[in-house]
Amino acid sequence: MVKKYVLVSGGVISGIGKGIIASSTGLLLKTMGLKVTSIKIDPYLNIDAGTLSPLDHGEVFVLNDGGEVDLDLGNYERYLDVTLTRSNNITTGKIYRDVIERERKGDYLGKTVQVVPHITDAIQDWVERVATIPVDDSGEEPDVCIIELGGTVGDIESAPFVEAMRQFQFRVGHENFALIHVSLVPTIGSVGEQKTKPTQASIRDLRGLGLTPDLIACRCEKTGLDEGIQAKISMFCHVQPNQVLAVRDCNSVYHVPELLKDQGLVDFLWKRLNIDQTITISAPLKQKGSDMWKKWNQLTSAQERLHDTVTIVLVGKYTNLQDSYASVVKALEHASLNCRKKLIMKWVEASDLEPETRSANPVKYHEAWQDLCSAQGILVPGGFGNRGVEGKIAAAKWAREQKVPYLGICLGLQIAVIEFARNVCGMPEANSIELDENTTTPVVVYMPEISKTHLGGTMRLGARPTEFQAGTENSTIRKLYGGGSTVLERHRHRYEINPELIEKFEAKGLKFVGKDETGERMEIVELADHPYFLGVQYHPEYLTRPLKPSAPFMGLILAATGDLKSHLATL
């Protein structure tokens, strides 16, 4: 089967938007009826993203198979509506580990193992293997593989991957390999003049490494490229003017596919990859793609017409880098769009709600509490460590007592239970083993099967079933999920609610409506006599889609806008 590959590289600066452009390219090809998969290459030495700080690298995204991967794979899944595997994220650590293991087995038969050809061959073999894995409900091999090369061209750590891709273009053939290079066209000075030199230098570096871009995606400010800039880049970078795309800042990333399509990206790739002559697209897939594009357009046009707002406050410990909560924000956006509401997010650093901040920085303390008290809904996402925990507990207490809609995810569930134990069940010393190893009232305990010495890849990870308990037919969250007896969601945790205390909590009105298949592990908690007070041990944000929002987030938005009861009545 003929496979097409589209490589997306970046220059000048990191974080330039390669992930969104790669996702948008994949979406546009999928709307034409093609089956599309994606690979993200991260040049760091870590085996996976699991042990990286969110403040350093953004959110850790979790896949169905338990893979802890780069947040860009979340973009791919949301845009393309596919289910990827841990193999779709390549790191230097994974490649070197595999090559060294093969060397130890004697697979290289006494040869000197080198970066070229052994590392570069391993990269190419990995890409070809993963590109054949079915990722959608068709169960068929993808037609196109989008490869995003992380980092910036010229980085030392990405050099083996760039060389591997240089060789790969010849391995698969010219008409099966296209390259989109994302570069920056900055606006300098008070006169606002756009400069092309950074892009020229970036393309020169890329061509010097043996790769020639087919399309140059120029990131620029809201006005787009100035007159003459496109022609200048075309002339100095050895491409036609129609191969230079202006990717301006948009009101929403959901507008980027339309922006690229309007500039002819699909038409160019269709001819460049000779898709008409090499791939047969069935009529049902063409229709499915067309319907997908129609719905996407409806989504983006509806977003521009929203006037009614909903204010949600996120109480977290990584709020200095909002990418730490990328999927949570997307899930809120998707739910808000579905409810025809414009989302206003307020970010509150959890430690700012604590008494220590009141004395150290009273202005910050009162601003944080003002944001919390004025919000229509409160969300406490996952996290690790002690910092900010008491602030999160204070937020959960406010939500419970003031009847403000609350959604706690992973640690957010544990926070809600600790707060309830302290202030309702008469357990003032209630705490988590994670936060205080010597607590006399361990409400949250270490899961017995989890390693206490190795942190990488040892949590309870991936898609696992949650079973609604008998007698929960009237549960709000069960109704939002469609009323079934089981839901499948992705997990990432090493601590759980202490099963020995469940009876005490339930006697006071905190109902554990969802448990794992053994009935021993608490998954979903709801508070009786509250508009919407929900905690989930899993991460529902990982499975949200623009056209299929996540049920717990839908519940939060509906409750925050006062529409939950009327919505439930329609189900």
Tell me the catalytic residues. Answer: 410, 539, 541
CA proximity to 376, closest of 531, 540, 511: 531
As given in the structure block, the two tokens for residue 292 are 């997908």
Please report the pLDDT score of residue 437 as a whole number. 86
Q: For residues 545-549, give the mean pLDDT.
A: 90
* Rounded Cα gap, residues 545 and 558, in angstroms: 17
Q: For residues 259-268, give the mean pLDDT.
A: 95
* Residue 42 pLDDT grade (very low, low, confident, very high; cuts 50, 70, 90): very high
* Residue 402 pLDDT grade (very low, low, confident, very high; cuts 50, 70, 90): very high
Q: For residues 387-412, give the mean pLDDT.
A: 94
- Whole-number percent of the chain with pLDDT over 90: 74
Please report the pLDDT score of residue 182 as a whole number. 96
Residue 433 has pLDDT above 80, yes or no: yes
Give the single-character DSSP code of 201. H
* Residue 51 pLDDT grade (very low, low, confident, very high; cuts 50, 70, 90): confident
* Rounded Cα gap, residues 299 and 336, in angstroms: 11
The answer to whether 88 and 72 are in contact (CB under 8 A) is: no
Residue 40 has pLDDT above 80, yes or no: yes
213: preceding bond cis by omega (within 30 degrees): no
Residue 1 has pLDDT above 70, yes or no: no
Apex 219 CA angle, 215 and 224, nearest 5:
100
> Comparing 84 with 570, which gets the higher pLDDT?
84
Residue 223 has pLDDT above 80, yes or no: no
Is the whole model's pTM more than 0.75, yes or no?
yes
How do residues 471-520 score in pLDDT, each as one tens digit?
A: 899 999 999 999 999 999 999 998 899 999 999 999 999 999 999 998 88
Please report the pLDDT score of residue 251 as a whole number. 82
Residue 302 has pLDDT above 70, yes or no: yes
Q: Could you tell me which residues come within 8 angstroms of residue 438 by beta carbon, excluding any fewer than 6 positions away?
A: none
Please report the pLDDT score of residue 454 as a whole number. 64
Please report the pLDDT score of residue 193 as a whole number. 85
How do residues 133-186 score in pLDDT, each as one tens digit?
A: 999 988 899 999 999 999 899 889 999 999 999 999 999 999 999 999 999 999
* Residue 446 pLDDT grade (very low, low, confident, very high; cuts 50, 70, 90): confident
Residue 451 has pLDDT above 70, yes or no: no
* Residue 563 pLDDT grade (very low, low, confident, very high; cuts 50, 70, 90): very high
Residue 452 has pLDDT above 70, yes or no: no
Which of 398-402, 449-453, 477-481, 505-509 bottoms out in mean pLDDT, i.e. has the lowest? 449-453
